[in-house]
Amino acid sequence: MSNSGSRRSVVLKRRPRGEPSAADFEIREDAIPQAGAGEVVTRTLWLSIDPYMRGRLREEQTYAVAIQIGEVMTGESVGEVVASSHPGFAAGDIVVGSRGWQTHSVTLGGQLVKISRGGAPLSAYLGVLGMPGATAYAGVTEICKPKPGETFVVAAASGAVGSVAGQIAKRAGARVVGIAGGSEKCLWAQDSLGFDDCVDHRSMDLGRELRAACPNGIDCYFENVGGAVQAAVFEQLNAFARVAMCGMVSQYNEHTMPPGPNLGFVVGKRILIQGFIVSDRPARMTEWRAMAETLVADGSLVHREDIIDGLENAPDALTGILSGRNFGKLLVRVAADHG
């Protein structure tokens, strides 16, 4: 199928040392790709910005393939089909699953999921109904498994993952305490998300404030931050506590990883600490989306978005999410939906 016009892509120019900046990337322009056999070309509407992207900029291998110099930066998007050589998709369809910081993408049809206009906002399929929501669901239900009356603590409580994790734990009957950066985020976690309490990690004495919010200790911890926040939480874990290790955003910009804590107490307290990646659990994504669409539609599952306009601003958006500048799920609006 023919497809005229040009596309813009953000490619990696150099590997950042420490905090990434716009100078580490450059804009490249080329022709909009053709759809080969079984492929679909999409026009990007929404681009997801997530903390894990920092790991893709490292030269060393992590749990996923690193972005090479000159390659398009990775990121999940929602787009409109403009050309298709796959029988399951036609021009005008809205899909989620294409990847890349670019205005147009070509993707195998089997990697895309069709979504409908008129239900949840299309952007939600990159946040509460996408990878962040499914990550929260998997970590809470598979690892933390909060019981009624237990204390569940979640770091980065106002973020795309943390805000959903806390709401799931609250539905399970737990006392939910968030940790977030600043009074505005903490108030939102309590007033909008229904958390029982929220502690500002910028506090002069985080440990004391956390003890006051968790008088019975901590039974479940959903880790998104690491560093001083983790140290304060770990001191207050109860026997048989469960810790879901989702992210460590506090150290993503570090060239050399800081020394870890002494985990000798894990044995004495019989604590379960498990790291997880939601992409290892594709069935949970389908399960979560089917369940959560109704909750988002009726307003019982609260979510917040932080939107930046323009593909060229994606590098600055990444810098912002790594420093906690965002409030809610961070998205780049690449183009308008004319549907």
Spatial contact of 46 and 126, defined as CB atoms under 8 Å apart: yes
pLDDT of residue 86: 97
Closest CA to 101 of 22, 167, 1, 172: 22
b/e string for 185-207 if b means 16 or more Cβ within 10 A?
A: bbebbbeebebbbbbbbeeeebe
Residue type for position 5: G
The pLDDT profile of the chain, 339 residues, written as one tens digit per residue, is 446 689 999 999 999 988 999 999 999 999 999 999 999 999 999 999 999 999 999 887 677 789 999 999 999 999 999 999 999 999 999 999 989 999 999 999 999 999 988 889 999 999 999 999 999 999 999 999 999 999 999 999 999 999 999 999 999 999 999 999 999 999 999 999 999 999 999 999 999 999 999 999 999 999 999 999 999 999 999 999 999 999 988 888 877 767 777 777 888 899 999 999 998 998 999 999 999 999 999 999 999 999 999 999 999 999 999 999 999 999 999 999 876
pLDDT of residue 65: 83
Residue type for position 330: L
Spatial neighbors of 113 by CB under 8 A, at least 6 apart, are 95, 96, 97
pLDDT of residue 135: 96
Q: What is the DSSP letter of 321?
A: H
- The superfamily (CATH) of domain 131-279 is NAD(P)-binding Rossmann-like Domain (3.40.50.720)
* Residue appearing with tokens 């681009």: 47
- The superfamily (CATH) of domain 6-127+304-333 is Medium-chain alcohol dehydrogenases, catalytic domain (3.90.180.10)
Closest CA to 223 of 141, 161, 181, 137: 161
Residue 233 token pair: 């939480």
Residue ranges of domains in the chain: 6-127+304-333, 131-279
Spatial contact of 175 and 152, defined as CB atoms under 8 Å apart: yes
pLDDT of residue 4: 61
Residue type for position 29: E
Backbone angles phi, psi at 334, to 5 degrees: -85, -40
Write out the H or E segment, with its range, that includes residue 175: strand 175-180
